Structure 1
Amino acid sequence: METEFDYVIVGAGSAGATLAARLSEDENISVCLIEAGPSHKHFSVSTPGLLLLNMVTKKRNWGFETVPQKGLNGRKGYQPRGKMLGGSSGSNAMIYIRGNKSDYDHWAELGNKGWSYEEVLPFFKKSEHFEGGESKFHGTGGPLNVTHKKEASPLNQTFIEAAQSLQIPLRKDFNSERQEGVGLFDVTQKRGKRWSAANAYLDPVVDRNNLTIVTDCLAERIILKGKQATGVQIRTKSGQKTLLARREVIVSAGTFGSSHLLLLSGIGPPEKLLPHGIETQHDLPGVGENLHDHVDWVANYKGKRSLHKETIGFSLPGTFNMIGEILKYRKDGTGIFSSNIAESGAFLYLDRDEPAPDIQLHFIISIVDDHGRKLHWGHGFSVHVCLLRPKSRGSVSLASSNPSDAPLIDPAFLEDERDMEKLYQGARLTQRLLQSAAFDDIRGKPIYGTEEEDEDRLREDIRNRADTIYHPVGTCKMGTDKLAVVDARLRVHGLKGLRVIDASIMPQVISGNTNAPTIMIGEKGAQMIKEDWPEGV
C-alpha cells in the first residue's frame, strides 16, 4: 500500500464516498479513502427489510450510547451509526428527504455564502437519478438512485386517510415546492435493493488506479506540522501507519467521529484536551459543541386482527408468510423484504409562525420498540413523532486519549423545555390521528400508555422512551461565530490543508432526514476543492 496521496479522506460514509468518487475523477490526482468498518457487500445491507439487523448488532454499527440524559429521566440514549462503506446510508430507512428551502436560506443568513437553497439545489440534482424523471426539483443521470415506493403495505393508505381526516393535505413529493402534507416517501433503492452511497459512488469507481480504499482502518489522529495538516495516523490489522496528504486531509467521519478525531489530534478547546493528556495543537472552542439531533417519540400499537401479510412481525402465520416473501424477493426484488419499513409519513405544522413544518411523522409497518432491540409477539404498527428543529444543544467530548474508546455523546435531549412542549403537542396530535375512524378496523391496544387523554402520563412516557431518530449534526459547524469550526468552504478555521465535510458542519439541523443533505454536502464540498485546486496547481 502506498503511503502518500494528494487527498486522504477519513470516513467512507455518505459524504466520504461522494468525495472519493468525485475527486478521483481527475486521473492526475490520487485519493485514499479510509473506513473503520468492513465492506457493504452483505445481504443484511442490500435487503431493505432487514435494516434493523444492522441497527442492533455491532458488525457494521458503532452502537454508541449517550451519557445519561437529564431530559430523559437519566436514561442513556442509543446512537447506532453505520460502520461500513457507505456509513449510515447502509443501515438507514433509505428515505430521500432534503429538508425545507428555509433551512438552507437560514444557513446563508448566518453568513455561510453559497449555501442558500437555490445554490445547493443543483448539487442535490447532480447526485440524483430520479426514476420519476427530471424536473425543476429533481435530476436524472446522477449516481444516487431515487424512486417512488412501488409496492407499499396497504396500511399506509390507512395512515394517509387518517391524516387527511385531520385536514392534512396529500403530498406526492416532499422534495418539491411544498413540504407540508402526508404521503409515501421516496427511497434510495434500485430494483428492490438498497442503494447506499457505497453502491452509488464507490462501486462504479472501485477499479480506478488513482483511488485507494482501505477498510477496517481506524484513524487515530491528524498529523499537523505547525498549522498545516500533513497526514493521518491510522491503525490497521497489520499495525500503525502514517498516510501523508500532499494537498489536504478531509475528515468525513460523521457528527460523532469527525469531532472526536479533531479532539484526539489536539484540535479543540484546551479544557477538553488537557484532562486526557493531549497537548493543544490548535485552540478551536467549537469542536464538539452545538450537537443536536431530532428527538423522537414512538406510538406502538398491536393490531386488532392478524396483520401478518401487511406488516413485519412475529407470529406463526407470519413465519409461513415470510417463507413466500423470501422466495418472492429473491425472484424479482419485490414483496415485504423490499420494504424500507418506514414507507409513509407526514410533515406537520404545530405553529404556523414557523418557517417550515416543525413535526415529522414516520409510519412504520412493524412494532419497532427501543430501536428494534425490544421484541413483541404478534403484529402491529408504529408512528414516530420527530421534533424537526430542536432548541437543545449538547456536545461531544473525549472519554480518554485512546482512539478506540467511544466519545462521550451528550445531545441534551429535551433539556430545553420548549422542545418538550412541542414534542408533547406532536405526540398528542398523533394520538388523535391514530384514534380516527380509518384505524378502527385494525387498531388494537397501545403497547405503552393509554388511549385516554392523560397529559401527565403522556409527558412521563415521552421522558421515559423518547430518543434519537438518527440525525445528529452540528459538532463542527460551519460559520463565522466563536463556535464555528469550518468556514463556508468547509476549511477548518486557522489551519491549512484540513477540511471537515459531512453532517457535522450543519449549523442547524435540516427539517427532515439527513442522508440526502449529507450527500449534497459531499457533492458541494468536492466541487469547492476542485475550484481551490485547479488543474496544474
Structure 2
Amino acid sequence: MEKPVTEDWDYIVVGSGSAGSVIAARLSECGRHRVLLLEAGGPDHLFWMRAPLGTGQMLRREDVIWQYETEPNPELRGRRLRWPRGKTLGGSSSVNGTLFVRGDHWHYDDWAARGATGWAFDDLLPYFKKFESFAGGDPHWRGRNGPISVERLNARLPVSEAFVEACRQTGLPENEDYNAAECYGASFLQYNTKFGRRQSAAVGYLRPAKGRANLKIVTDAMVTQINVSGNRADGVSYSIGGVAHTARAGREVIISAGSIGTPHLLELSGIGNPDILRRHGIAPRVVLPGVGENLIDHLQTRVSFEARNTRGLNEIIRRPLYKYWIGAQFLFFGKGLMTTPLATAQAVVRSSPHLLRPDLKVQLHHFSGKDRMAYSKELGIDPHPGLTFGVVQLSPQSRGSLHLSGPSSDAPPSIRPNQLSHPEDVRVLTAGLRLARQVASQPALSDYIVKELRPGPDAVSDHELVEYIRDSGQTSYHPIGTCRMGIDSQAVVDPQLKVHGIERLRVADASIMPTMPASNTNAACLMIGEKAAAMILADAR
C-alpha cells in the first residue's frame, strides 16, 4: 500500500467549475501565492466539449457528468428527475448550453437589501466586465478584454427571426442586448463561445494559467473532508486512485464544488445541522443549520410543435447528410447550428401587467420530442421537423434541500427540490404556457408551425395545463442557494463568502446565491469567482 502524501500550499481550491477556475487562476496570477486546485473529474479533452451542440452527447456520459438524481417529488407525480452536473476541468461550464445571461439587475440589488453588502448590481458590474470579451454593445455595460469570449447568435435561421418578430407582434419590444441596461424583451441569444467554440472556465482561465510554477492542477482528485483544527480550516483530505493525500493550507481553503458538491462536503466534514450529521454518525464541528437548505432550481415546462420549412435536431438525427453539412460549417467556419445548444432566441416577459419586473422566459429550441435531451437516456425525438418553446419562471418561490444520505463521500446526497410546492410557481408557469401559445399563433410563425403537439390543443383550462406541467416539468440545470450568503441565523457564508463560525474557509460558487439571479447561472458564477478572488487577495495584502 502506498504511503499517504502530504503537501503544503497557501491556498487550496476545491472544484474547477466556473468559480473555482477563476479563483485558482487569479490567486496564482501574481506569482507570490502557491495554489492547489483539486478537481474530482478528469481533463476537458472531449471533442464534444468544444461544440455547444455537443451538450446532449455529454450529458449521458458518466465519465464527465455526475449523474445525480432527485428524490421523488410529490408535486411532480412522484417523479425522480435527473440532475446532471459537470465532472471535468471547467465543471458544468464545460458541458452546459453556453448561454450567456447575467440576469435582471434587480435580483442582485435584492441580495444587498437582504444583508449581502457589496453585492448590488453596481458593485458587481466591474466583475462581470472583467471576465468578459464582447465585441459590440455599450462599453458602460459590457467588457472588452476578459478571458471569456461572448458572441452573439451567428446562426440566424429564418425561424429565429420569425420568433422575435412574433414576439413583437404580441406587443413585446425587441431587446438588442439583454445583458446591458435591461433584460426585458425579445432577443437573439448570446453564448460563451469564440469562433463558435465553447469558452468554458477551463479554456478561458486554466489553460493560460497551467504553465505557472506556483499553480498545481490535480484531476481525478476526490476531496473527502475539510480538515479543521479548533475553529480553523487548515487543509483537506483527498484521494487519487485509492491513495490518500492530505493538503495543508497556510492561508485559506476555498470550496467551489457547486450547489450539490459544496454542502455535501461541508456536511461530511462536520459542518451543518447537528441533528442531520449525528443521524449519519458524523460528529458536529461547526453548527450551521442552513447548510443544504434553500435549494432552488428552474423548473422548465414547454410547448412543442410539428414544424415545416426549418431544420433542427430532428433533421440532424433523421438525415445523415445534413449532419455532415452542419459539422463542416462548424469545423471550417465556426458557424451554423453546432455553435448553439439548439436554443437561439428568447422572450423575457411579465406574467401579469401589474408586475414591475419580468418573471418569465420563453425560449426557442430547434427540436421537438417526448423528452428533452438528457432528461432520460433515450432522446425520444419526433419523426418530423419540430420546434419547442421552453417556459421558465425566472424567480421560483419553491425551496428544497440537499443533505447526506450516508457518512461517506461515495454515497450521493439526497436531493429534494420540492418544485411546484409554492402556488405562485404553478400560476406563473401556467401563464407561461399561455404566453408561449400566444407567440406561436402570430402571423410571423405561420410558415413554420404546423400544429401544437404538447400539451396539445385539447389542454385548455388551467387545471389541464397544471396537470401537464406536473407530468412533464424538468430541471433547467440551475441548482443554487444551498450555502446561502447572508447575516441571519440560516446563512452559511457572510458577504465576504467566509463560512460563519470557522476561520480560513470560504465558499464561492452557485450555492452562495440567496435567490435566483437569472434564467441561467454560469455568468453569475464567473462573476462570483472574480469577486471572491479580489476579496481573498485584498485580505492577503
TM-score in terms of structure 2 length = 0.95
Equivalent of 1:67 in 53, 67, 71: 71
- SS of the equivalent of 1:258 reads helix
1:31-42 matches, cutoff 5 A:
31-42=35-46
Instruction: Select between 313-322 and 291-300 the one with higher mean Cα deviation.
Output: 313-322
- SS of the equivalent of 1:53 reads helix
Cα distance in 2 for residues equivalent to 1:232 and 1:13: 18
Shift of the 7–386 alpha-carbon distance from structure 1 to 2, 3 Å rule, reads same
- SS of the equivalent of 1:51 reads helix
Is 1:232 aligned to residue 227 of structure 2?
Answer: no
- Render the CA deviation track for 1:478-537: whole Å, top value 9, x for unaligned: 001111000000000010010000110011111321100110000000000011111xxx
- SS of the equivalent of 2:29 reads coil
Q: Hey, what does 2:410 align to over in structure 1?
A: 404
Shift of the 355–499 alpha-carbon distance from structure 1 to 2, 3 Å rule, reads farther
Contact 2:10 2:33 in 1 (8 A): yes
Note the C-alpha offset of 1:404. Answer: 1.8
Q: Hey, what does 1:200 align to over in structure 2?
A: 204
Unaligned ranges ≥5, structure 2 = none
Note the C-alpha offset of 1:141. Answer: 1.0
Q: Hey, what does 2:326 align to over in structure 1?
A: 325
Contact 2:138 2:180 in 1 (8 A): no
1:371-386 matches, cutoff 5 A:
371-372=372-373, 373=376, 374-376=379-381, 377-386=383-392
Is 1:127 aligned to residue 134 of structure 2?
Answer: no
Equivalent of 1:456 in 430, 443, 463: 463
Q: Hey, what does 1:362 align to over in structure 2?
A: 363
Equivalent of 1:47 in 37, 46, 51: 51
Q: Give the total of aligned pairs.
A: 531
RMSD: 1.6
1:405-484 matches, cutoff 5 A:
405-452=411-458, 453-484=460-491
Note the C-alpha offset of 1:418. Answer: 1.3
Instruction: Select between 431-440 and 386-395 the one with higher mean Cα deviation.
Output: 431-440
Note the C-alpha offset of 1:332. Answer: 2.0
Aligned identity (percent) is 37
Cα distance in 2 for residues equivalent to 1:316 and 1:498: 48
- SS of the equivalent of 2:246 reads strand
Note the C-alpha offset of 1:341. Answer: 1.2
Equivalent of 2:92 in 88, 91, 108: 88
Note the C-alpha offset of 1:362. Answer: 1.7
Instruction: Select between 313-322 and 220-229 the one with higher mean Cα deviation.
Output: 313-322
Note the C-alpha offset of 1:154. Answer: 1.9
- Render the CA deviation track for 1:443-479: whole Å, top value 9, x for unaligned: 1333332224243222111001112111111110000
Cα distance in 1 for residues equivalent to 2:323 and 2:12: 44
TM-score in terms of structure 1 length = 0.96
- SS of the equivalent of 1:461 reads helix
- Render the CA deviation track for 1:279-305: whole Å, top value 9, x for unaligned: 1011111000111111110212222x3
- SS of the equivalent of 1:400 reads coil
Q: Hey, what does 2:513 align to over in structure 1?
A: 506
Cα distance in 1 for residues equivalent to 2:258 and 2:317: 41
Equivalent of 1:497 in 500, 504, 508: 504
Note the C-alpha offset of 1:158. Answer: 1.7
Note the C-alpha offset of 1:152. Answer: 2.7
Is 1:294 aligned to residue 294 of structure 2?
Answer: no
Shift of the 30–323 alpha-carbon distance from structure 1 to 2, 3 Å rule, reads same
Is 1:388 aligned to residue 394 of structure 2?
Answer: yes
Is 1:213 aligned to residue 220 of structure 2?
Answer: no
1:487 partner amino acid: D
- Render the CA deviation track for 1:393-423: whole Å, top value 9, x for unaligned: 1101111111022111111100011111111
Cα distance in 1 for residues equivalent to 2:319 and 2:462: 36
Q: Hey, what does 2:160 align to over in structure 1?
A: 156
- Render the CA deviation track for 1:126-171: whole Å, top value 9, x for unaligned: 1111122661100111101011112232211121121111101101
Contact 1:300 1:369 in 2 (8 A): no
Cα distance in 1 for residues equivalent to 2:99 and 2:369: 17
Cα distance in 2 for residues equivalent to 1:353 and 1:223: 51
Contact 1:357 1:511 in 2 (8 A): no
